[in-house]
Structure 1
Amino acid sequence: MLLCGFVLTACAGPQGRAPGRYAQMVDSATSGCLRNPACATQVGEDAVLPWLSRAAARAGQAAAMLRVWEAAEVAHVERVLVECAKQANSDVNERLLGPGRRTTPEVCTEKVLDASGREVTRAMQLGEAKHAAALECVQRVLGATDAGRFSVEPRYLKDATTGRTRWLEPEEVAQWLQDGQFYLLAGSIVPDVVLHALGNPLKVQRVYDFKFPCPVSNPPIWDIYAPGHSFAGKTQRDVYQQLLNADRAPQLVSPNFGVQ
Structure 2
Amino acid sequence: MLLGGCAGTPNQRRAEPYRFDTVSNSCRQSPANCAALAGKETVGTTLAAAATTGYVVVRALEDPARDLVEAILVECADLARSEVLLRHRRDFAAQSPTREECNQQVRDATGRRVNRAALLGTEMHLVALRCAKERLGMLRPGGFSLEPHYRYDSESGRTTHIPEKDVAALRESGNASELWGTLAPDVVIHAGSPFQIQAVYDFKFPCFHLDGMPRWDTYPPEHPHQKLNQGQLYKAALRVPPLRVAPRIGVER
Q: TM over 0.5: same fold?
A: yes
Which deviates more from structure 2 when the two are superposed, residues 212-221 or residues 177-186? 177-186
Q: CA deviation at 1:186?
A: 2.7
1:72-115: CA deviation from partner (whole Å, max 9, x where unpaired): 11011111111110111001000122497212112211221111
Do the aligned residues in 1 keep the contact of 2:60 with 2:197 (CA within 8 Å)?
A: no
Structure 1 residues 132 and 101: CA distance shift in structure 2, 3 A: same
How far apart, in 2, do the equivalents of 1:240 and 1:178 lie?
26
Structure 1 residue runs without a partner (length 5+): 1-60
Q: CA deviation at 1:162?
A: 7.0
Q: CA deviation at 1:118?
A: 1.1
SS in 2 for 1:226: coil
Aligned to 2:98: 104
Count of residue correspondences:
197
Matched, 1:140 2:134: yes
Q: CA deviation at 1:63?
A: 5.0
Structure 1 residues 152 and 140: CA distance shift in structure 2, 3 A: same
Q: CA deviation at 1:184?
A: 2.5
Letter in 2 for 1:256: R
Aligned to 1:203: 196
How far apart, in 1, do the equivalents of 2:238 and 2:197 lie?
7
> Which structure 2 residues correspond to residues 222-241 of structure 1 after superposition, within 5 A?
222-241=216-235
Structure 1 residues 87 and 228: CA distance shift in structure 2, 3 A: same
> Which structure 2 residues correspond to residues 107-126 of structure 1 after superposition, within 5 A?
107-126=101-120
Aligned to 1:55: none
How far apart, in 2, do the equivalents of 1:154 and 1:125 lie?
22
Aligned to 2:54: none
Q: CA deviation at 1:161?
A: 10
Do the aligned residues in 1 keep the contact of 2:40 with 2:191 (CA within 8 Å)?
A: no
How far apart, in 2, do the equivalents of 1:243 and 1:108 lie?
33
How far apart, in 1, do the equivalents of 2:143 and 2:89 lie?
36
> Which structure 2 residues correspond to residues 46-85 of structure 1 after superposition, within 5 A?
64-65=42-43, 69-85=61-77
Which deviates more from structure 2 when the two are superposed, residues 150-159 or residues 76-85? 150-159
Structure 2 residue runs without a partner (length 5+): 1-38, 45-58
Q: Which of 172, 181, 185 lines up with 1:178 in the alignment?
A: 172
Do the aligned residues in 2 keep the contact of 1:225 with 1:233 (CA within 8 Å)?
A: yes
RMSD: 2.4
Aligned to 1:88: 80
Matched, 1:169 2:163: yes
Matched, 1:214 2:198: no
1:1-59: CA deviation from partner (whole Å, max 9, x where unpaired): xxxxxxxxxxxxxxxxxxxxxxxxxxxxxxxxxxxxxxxxxxxxxxxxxxxxxxxxxxx
Rg: which structure is higher? 1
SS in 2 for 1:253: strand
Structure 1 residues 121 and 148: CA distance shift in structure 2, 3 A: same
Letter in 2 for 1:252: R
Do the aligned residues in 2 keep the contact of 1:68 with 1:197 (CA within 8 Å)?
A: no
| Greater relative contact order structure (CA < 8 Å, 6+ sep) | 2
Letter in 2 for 1:120: V
Q: CA deviation at 1:62?
A: 8.8
TM-score by length of 1: 0.70
Which deviates more from structure 2 when the two are superposed, residues 119-128 or residues 213-222? 213-222
Q: CA deviation at 1:128?
A: 0.4
TM-score by length of 2: 0.71
Letter in 1 for 2:86: E
SS in 1 for 2:189: strand
Taking only the aligned residue pairs, the percentage that are identical comes to 39
SS in 2 for 1:94: helix
